Each structure stands twice: as structure tokens, then as C-alpha cells.
Structure 1
Amino acid sequence: MRSLPARRLAAVALTAAASVVALAGPAFAHVTVNPGSAAQGGYTAVDFRVPNENDTASTVKLEVNLPMDHPLASVRTLPLPGWTANVEKSKLDKPIKVHGNDVTEAVSKITWTADAGTKIAPGQFQEFRVSLGPLPTDADSMAFKALQTYDNGDVVRWIDEAQAGQPEPAHPAPVLKLTKAAGGDDHGVAASASPAAGTHGDSSDHAAAAGDTKSSDSTARTLGVVGIVVGVIGTAVGVLGLRRKGSGSTS
């Protein structure tokens, strides 16, 4: 009769372990912007990182919507073999001043479409590079709502914005955090804008370093999850052993 509670305890432990893995897994499959932060008022190059999270279909299109409440005067895409980029512009309700000039329209959406024979297959990811600027000085973040289209017709809408004090949404929009420029806005703009868009320089190296840091963070989170799972299972096994030992001593 004592074996029934023990079996229930083991089942609960395994269920808890599976829940931890299930909750941790999707966090690594979001569409993200990398690096995740840039200086206010400056220019930067970022990658929209798109993992394929479907086991039976491939990604063939990505649409990224740029926030028009903080329009960006300069947006350029880096050519990506096998993909065609289409840049759409929208008229601004109110012109913005950039380097003393009036800007009356800004890029509102970028769509990358896979050429024939190109795709992001299951288990793969792709990065789509864009240079942006000047970044706003009156905001601490920018959300880029994205739509990911699969070759089976499925569309995943990465458009939900996280709310303070609330759990992360199931399909969060990629977010670029904006930080105060070191040494003042002018210094920040000059430092960020020095490399030309699409060239390999300090900004590319910085982006790569930030990407490596993010990968390290993901690895650390994964190891942490594994440690929790092992701990839960180990506790369950230890309790089962004690119960069996107690049962054997009273028989």
C-alpha cells in the first residue's frame, strides 16, 4: 500500500521537470533583434534573428514593421543571398528634422522573401541585417512587430508587446532597448555612425560580440534548466529510496 504514494510522488516530480523544460524551451525560439540595445540618437546595425520553430515546414518570408511613432530617417538593408528585400515607405503626418533637413517620409516595413530553393529549414535560423538611424532620444525602447510566414501557409505574428509586471507574451515583438549615449548625444551619434552601413567594422564586431553574449546567456539558462530538472528528479529518487528502506525495515 505504501508504494502507491511513492509512485504518485515520482509522477509529480517528472511532471514538474517536464513543465520546467516546456516553459524554458519557447524562450529560445522567439524572433529577436540583436544586439538588443543601442545608444539614443545614434546609428546602429542590427540583425533580426529568425529561428524556424516548425518541425514540418520552412520559413520563406519575414515582414518587419518599423514603429512610425518614432520614424527613422535612414534605413538600409544588407543584401542577403537567396532573399529579396522590399522596403516600403510611408508619408509622415509631421516632418522630422534630421541634420537640418526636413524628412517627410520614412520606411514603415521591410519584407524579405525567399528566392526559389531558399528557405529556413527546421532546426535552422537566419539573420537579416539592417542599419538604422538616427535613433530617437525620447524613448527607451523600440518594438519591431514581425510576421513569419512558413511554406505551408502558417503565419506567426510576433507582435505582442510586453507589459510591466506581466508575464512575457507568447509571441513577443522584437524589442531594441535604447540607452543614454555615453559622453552626451553628439559623442554617441559620432561613435555609432562611424562605420558605413553594411560594412564590416567596429559596429559589426560589436554586434557579433553582443550576439555571442546573448548565446552565452542562452547557454547559461539552458544549463540552469537542466540543473533544476536533475535536482527535481534526484529529490524524487532520494525520497523513493527512503520510503523503500523504511518499508523494508518494518516488514
Structure 2
Amino acid sequence: MRASSAIRLAAASALAATAVLAGATAASAHVTVQPSSVPKNATDQTFAFRVPNEDDKNSTVKVEIDFPVDHPIPSALVAPVAGWTDRIQTTKLATPIHTDDGDITDVVSQIVWTGGQIAPGHYQDFTVDLGALPEGTDKVVFKALQTYGDGNIVRWIEEPQEGQPEPKNPAPVLKLTAASAASATTAGDATAAPAPAAAPTAPAAPVAAKASTSDSTARAIGIAGVVLGALGVAAGLLLGRRRSTGTAA
């Protein structure tokens, strides 16, 4: 009896765990923008809208990404996706954006992909190069509409709120963090780089001086030895002559 109860409990726990995992997978399978966070001064402005297929039977046949108008994006370039046709829509601003290159009156309002299919259990990345990131905000909220082959449309348009549970159909959000100082740091490192290079050459001078001093000392000792040797030979010859003269007398 105890064994049967234990088996039933284990089976129930396994089913519960499976349900939790399935729920977590479904909750996380929504349209997102990759990467989801970049510095405000990021130079690489290429992003991908990742669209997963949550339907078990029908393929995704249309993807629509709506751009914000409160913090507009002036322009976009779309990377081709095999089997899909893309179309960029623009809108005219009531108040132009002033830039060093002139005023911008038309901005991107929507990009639509049609003609292809995302099969169940698969996802597709739709890559876009944004002309410039908007200023005066710490996030860009897009809205995505995903159309399935049976006509069902899933609207990923709910903006997540700080400190609140994730909504059922969250919108893709690009977070803009504080400007990165990486470029300035790199420039500073490049300026300071020559300093360490000079350090190894500084001790070289004393080493060379030591070598020069040692050579001079060796040469002096050698010369002195030669001189002493010569003097010894001369003294020997002189002493030999004196002995010869004394013997003869």
C-alpha cells in the first residue's frame, strides 16, 4: 500500500513538473528584439526581431512590426529573409527632427514581412539595421502582430511595467542604457600605451655602462700584465749578463 502511494505521488509530481515547464516555455515564447539592451551611444544598430511559432498546427505567414511615433526612428534597412517579402512604411512627423544634416520629416512607422512561413516548433529572425536610436528615452517599445495560416492574429502589444508581472502578450522592448565610456577608455589606453614600452629600455643604460667598465678594467689588467711580463724578461736578461761578466772575471 505504501509502495503504491509512493508511486502515485511520484507520478503526480512528475506531471506537475511537466506542466510547470510547459507553462514556462509557452510564457517565454513571445516576439522579442535581440539584443534587448544597448548603450544609448551604441554604434552597432543592427537588431533582430525574433518570432517563434506557438501554434501546434498552423504556420506563421505574416509578421508586422509597428514602430513608436513618440520617440521615432528616422530610417531602417531590412536584411533579406529567404522566402519572405518585406515592406517598409513611413509616416510624416508633425514636428520635424532637427539634425546636423538637416530636418527629418519622414520616419519609419511599420515593417511587414509576408510570403514565407514559420513552421510549428520553429522561429525566424527578421534583421533590421536602424538608422539611429531615438533620444530622450531609455527604451523603445515596438508592437508586433503575428498572423497564422488559419487567420488567427496574436498581438504582442502590451508594454511590460517595472515591478509588475509580465503581461500575457508583451511587446518587444529595446532598453537604452547609459552611454558607454568604452571608446574613451580605449582612447586613453592608446595614449598611455607608449609609457610602459619605454620602461624596459631604462635599465639598459646601467647594464651597458657595467659592460663597458668591465671591458676597460680587463683591458687595463691585460696591458699591465704584458708590461710586467716585459719588465720581468728584461730583468732576467740583465741579471744573466751580470752573472756571465762575474764568472769571466
Q: Shorter chain as normaliser: what TM range? A: 0.5 to 0.7
**Corresponding residue of 1:25:** 25
8 Å Cα contact 1:41-1:137 kept in structure 2: no
**Corresponding residue of 2:46:** 45
8 Å Cα contact 1:41-1:134 kept in structure 2: no
Instruction: Give secondary structure in 1 for the equivalent of 2:24.
Output: helix
Shift of 1:153: 0.5
Question: Which has the higher relative contact order, 1 or 2, with Cα contacts under 8 A spaced 6 or more apart?
Answer: 1
Correspondence list, 1:58-97, <5 A: 58-97=59-98
8 Å Cα contact 2:78-2:127 kept in structure 1: yes
C-alpha change, 1:185 and 1:67, in structure 2 (3 Å) is farther
Correspondence list, 1:43-192, <5 A: 43=43, 44-114=45-115, 118-183=116-181
Runs of 4+ in 1 over 6 A off after TM superposition: 1-5, 184-187
Distance 1:147 1:68 in 2: 17
C-alpha change, 1:184 and 1:101, in structure 2 (3 Å) is farther
Distance 1:160 1:80 in 2: 27
Distance 1:185 1:89 in 2: 33
Percent identical pairs in the alignment equals 50
Instruction: Give secondary structure in 2 for the equivalent of 1:172.
Output: coil
Given the two structures, how large is their TM-score scaled by the length of structure 2? 0.66
C-alpha change, 1:57 and 1:41, in structure 2 (3 Å) is same
> AA paired with 1:57?
N
Shift of 1:86: 0.9
Instruction: Give secondary structure in 2 for the equivalent of 1:119.
Output: strand
Instruction: Give secondary structure in 1 for the equivalent of 2:133.
Output: coil
Given the two structures, how large is their TM-score scaled by the length of structure 1? 0.65
Gaps in structure 1 of 5+ consecutive residues: 188-251
C-alpha change, 1:81 and 1:2, in structure 2 (3 Å) is closer
Distance 2:33 2:79 in 1: 15
Shift of 1:16: 3.5
Shift of 1:63: 0.2
RMSD of equivalent CA atoms: 2.5
Gaps in structure 2 of 5+ consecutive residues: 186-249
Distance 1:6 1:152 in 2: 45
**Corresponding residue of 2:207:** none
Correspondence list, 1:212-231, <5 A: none
Instruction: Give secondary structure in 2 for the equivalent of 1:18.
Output: helix
Distance 2:22 2:122 in 1: 20
> Who wins on radius of gyration, i.e. which is larger?
2
8 Å Cα contact 2:141-2:172 kept in structure 1: yes
> AA paired with 2:17?
A
Distance 2:12 2:80 in 1: 51
> AA paired with 1:149?
T
8 Å Cα contact 2:93-2:107 kept in structure 1: yes
Distance 1:129 1:186 in 2: 29
Shift of 1:41: 4.3
C-alpha change, 1:99 and 1:145, in structure 2 (3 Å) is same
> AA paired with 1:140?
D
Shift of 1:180: 1.8
